[in-house]
């Protein structure tokens, strides 16, 4: 039987920093070195040892001491000095061996990694899940077009960890490859488990992919094993996670397209590069950033920008999703100006079980009619107070 080796970059996890040891530190400048040495000689005494012109060794007695030393180093240095300071942690009291230097990293990454023990454990135990948020037809918002899979971590007590907390730390601790892969696999597995019969939007980070042919094999295999048609999957890349190498991003998206998947560009309107990426990447969908949609009916500048994006996308045969819709006025505005689909708390919040029949309040405004209104659920008021009821229902 043919076996596939684990990818050392995406699937192998670093060792947690446990116990005491010695932290070897190389400072970028003499000025940086003097700041660090003066601080630690005053506060650490014998635990600080000067080795070379810009090198020192700091002794940590336990894991808490490692975290404290890393934090103190960061406090003494500027942001650029932190990035240019190299560190190597060696457990125990021994000298570093040649093989140890492969683990050398910069201070910013080491400081984050010293705080990331809980995240390494979470990844090792696959304690992550996906919540699903519906994307609905703008002209018929009670009808679901797709479900977007959104990452959530799981604490040992079963409580949820926000994606922001995970992603902020994993970027600094160089765990983005492992988090991105596990998030993709989990989204696919749970989509198959829930038997989602609509489109499925899955986020991915292009900077967490070296070579699409190699790095995305396991994701494609998971989709096949879940029995999901390739045409049902839409991979979306966000503005904040776009690779600076546009050629690399194009290769990734070409790989997805050739495999039969759809492609979406997220957060359009939030950054300067959006328009260039639209014509270079030719996505199937663009998702207008929630900050652009927020209070769009009150802001003339936002309204002009969004209207032009809707118009341009329609001319290019690109479908549009208005994100972050939270009020009836926002929903009405984006629908009136040509949005194909909408997504946001006004429709439904992310949930562990996909919401297939979102409750959307009726509006008396003339551009919409009564076909929008579903039969109110038990206990929910109708007509004049349905808007407030819908907000409660979404929670």
Query: Would you give the end-to-end CA distance of the chain in angstroms?
Result: 48
| Calpha distance 79→77 (Å, rounded) | 7
The stretch 164-183 carries a mean pLDDT of 91
| Calpha distance 109→96 (Å, rounded) | 19
Look at residue 272 in the predicted model and tell me its pLDDT.
53
Question: pLDDT-derived band of residue 273, with 50, 70 and 90 as boundaries?
Answer: low
Look at residue 125 in the predicted model and tell me its pLDDT.
95
| pLDDT of 371 above 50 | no
The stretch 118-131 carries a mean pLDDT of 96
The stretch 124-128 carries a mean pLDDT of 95
Q: 192 by DSSP, 3-state: which?
A: helix
Look at residue 217 in the predicted model and tell me its pLDDT.
79
Q: What are phi and psi of 54, to 5 degrees?
A: -130, 35
Closest C-alpha to 77, from 107, 101, 45: 107
- Segment 209-266, tens digit of pLDDT: 766 767 677 888 899 999 999 999 999 886 555 556 678 788 888 888 888 999 999 8
- Segment 3-58, tens digit of pLDDT: 445 555 566 777 778 888 999 999 999 999 999 998 988 876 668 888 888 899 99
| Calpha distance 290→306 (Å, rounded) | 11
Look at residue 255 in the predicted model and tell me its pLDDT.
85
Average pLDDT for the chain: 84
Burial of 201 from C-beta contacts in 10 A (0-12 / 13-18 / 19+): buried
* CA of residue 164 relative to chain centroid, distance: 7
Look at residue 2 in the predicted model and tell me its pLDDT.
41
DSSP 36: H
| pLDDT of 344 above 90 | yes
| pLDDT of 388 above 70 | no
Hunting for tokens 């749970």 — which residue is that?
A: 190
The stretch 265-281 carries a mean pLDDT of 74
Look at residue 130 in the predicted model and tell me its pLDDT.
98
Look at residue 49 in the predicted model and tell me its pLDDT.
87
The stretch 331-354 carries a mean pLDDT of 96
Closest C-alpha to 218, from 178, 254, 246: 178
Q: How far is CA 36 from CA 22, 31, 41, 82, in A?
A: 16, 9, 8, 11
Task: Name residues whose C-beta falls within 8 Å of residue 277's C-beta, 6 or more positions apart in sequence.
Answer: 242, 246, 249, 265
Q: Please state the pTM of the whole predicted model.
A: 0.83
| pLDDT of 274 above 70 | no
| pLDDT of 292 above 50 | yes
Kindly provide the b/e burial profile for residues 17-47, where b requires at least 16 CB atoms within 10 angstroms of the residue's own CB: beeebbbbbbbbeeebbebbbebbeeebeeb
């Amino acid at each position: 039987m043919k076996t596939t080796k684990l990818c050392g970059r995406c699937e192998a996890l670093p060792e947690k920093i446990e116990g005491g040891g010695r932290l070897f530190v190389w400072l970028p400048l003499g000025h940086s070195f003097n700041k660090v040495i003066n601080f630690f000689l005053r506060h650490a005494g014998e635990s600080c040892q000067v080795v070379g012109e810009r090198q020192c060794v700091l002794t940590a007695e336990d894991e808490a001491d490692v975290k404290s030393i890393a934090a103190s180093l960061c406090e003494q240095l500027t942001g650029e000095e932190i990035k240019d300071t190299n560190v190597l942690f060696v457990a125990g009291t021994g000298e570093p061996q040649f093989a140890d230097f492969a683990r050398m990293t910069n201070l910013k990454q080491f400081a984050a990694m010293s705080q990331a023990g809980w995240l390494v454990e979470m990844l090792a135990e696959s304690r992550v899940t996906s919540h699903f948020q519906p994307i609905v037809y703008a002209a018929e918002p009670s009808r679901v077009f797709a479900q977007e899979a959104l990452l959530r971590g799981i604490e040992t007590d079963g409580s949820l960890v926000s994606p922001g907390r995970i992603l902020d730390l994993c970027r600094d601790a160089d765990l983005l490859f492992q988090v991105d892969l596990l998030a993709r696999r989990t989204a696919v597995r749970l989509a198959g488990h829930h038997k989602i019969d609509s489109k499925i939007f899955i986020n991915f980070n292009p900077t967490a992919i070296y070579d699409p042919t190699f790095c995305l094999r396991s994701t494609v295999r998971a989709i096949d094993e879940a029995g999901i048609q390739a045409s049902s999957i839409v991979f979306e890349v966000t503005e904040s996670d776009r690779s600076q190498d546009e050629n690399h991003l194009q290769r990734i998206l070409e790989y997805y397209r050739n495999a039969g998947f759809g492609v979406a560009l997220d957060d359009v309107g939030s950054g300067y590069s959006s328009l260039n990426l639209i014509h270079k990447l030719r996505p199937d969908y663009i998702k207008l950033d929630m900050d652009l949609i927020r209070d769009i009916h009150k802001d003339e500048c936002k309204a002009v920008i969004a209207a032009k994006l809707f118009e341009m996308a329609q001319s290019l045969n690109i479908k549009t999703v208005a994100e972050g819709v939270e009020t009836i006025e926002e929903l009405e505005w984006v629908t009136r100006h040509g949005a194909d689909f909408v997504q946001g708390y006004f429709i439904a919040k992310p949930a562990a079980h996909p919401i297939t029949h979102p409750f959307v309040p009726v509006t008396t405004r003339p551009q919409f009619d009564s076909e929008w209104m579903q039969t109110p659920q038990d206990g929910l008021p109708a007509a004049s107070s349905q808007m407030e009821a819908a907000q409660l229902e979404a929670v």
